[in-house]
């Protein structure tokens, strides 16, 4: 929770846009930005599909860590480094 999302800016009394800049549908929180936002969900789907990964993207019910642990376990050993890279780069780019 180190990313300066709207909820964190609000706690510190700093100027912010209250809604997610990607979808304009919900308050911008870290959870929304990485897991719940329709843009983020589509991004996860497209990237994992492009890589031919059979694991589903993170769902809004789980935490990113829960998804990571399950996806890593279900991914063949030879593909785990690729999954690790995607799991780090996708949230960074979002």
pLDDT tens profile 21-73: 889 888 888 888 888 889 988 888 888 888 776 666 676 677 778 877 888 88
- Two structure tokens written together for 77: 């050993």
**In the chain, how many domains are there?**
1
Task: Quote the pLDDT of residue 9.
Answer: 76
pLDDT given at position 55: 64
Residues 52 and 9: their CA atoms lie apart, in Å, by 38
pLDDT-based confidence at residue 1 (cuts at 50, 70, 90): low
**Residue 1 located in a structural domain:** no
The predicted structure's pLDDT at residue 18: 81
With respect to residue 80, please indicate whether it lies within any of the assigned structural domains: yes
- The pLDDT of residue 4 is 72
47: Cβ–Cβ under 8 A, 6 or more apart, which residues? 57, 86, 90
**Residue 71 maps to a domain:** yes
The reply to whether 33 falls in a domain is yes
Distance (Å, rounded) from C-alpha 3 to C-alpha 17? Answer: 15
The CA distance from 45 to 59, in Å, is 11
Residue 5 has pLDDT above 80, yes or no: no
């Amino acid at each position: 929770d180190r990313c300066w999302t709207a909820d964190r800016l609000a706690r510190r009394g700093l100027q912010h846009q209250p809604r997610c800049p990607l979808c304009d549908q919900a308050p911008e929180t870290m959870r929304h930005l990485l897991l719940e936002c329709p843009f983020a969900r589509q991004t996860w789907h497209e990237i994992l599909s492009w890589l031919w990964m059979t694991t589903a993207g993170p769902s809004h019910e789980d935490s990113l860590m829960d998804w990571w642990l399950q996806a890593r376990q279900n991914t063949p050993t030879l593909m785990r480094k690729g999954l690790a890279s995607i799991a780090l780069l996708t949230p960074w780019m979002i």
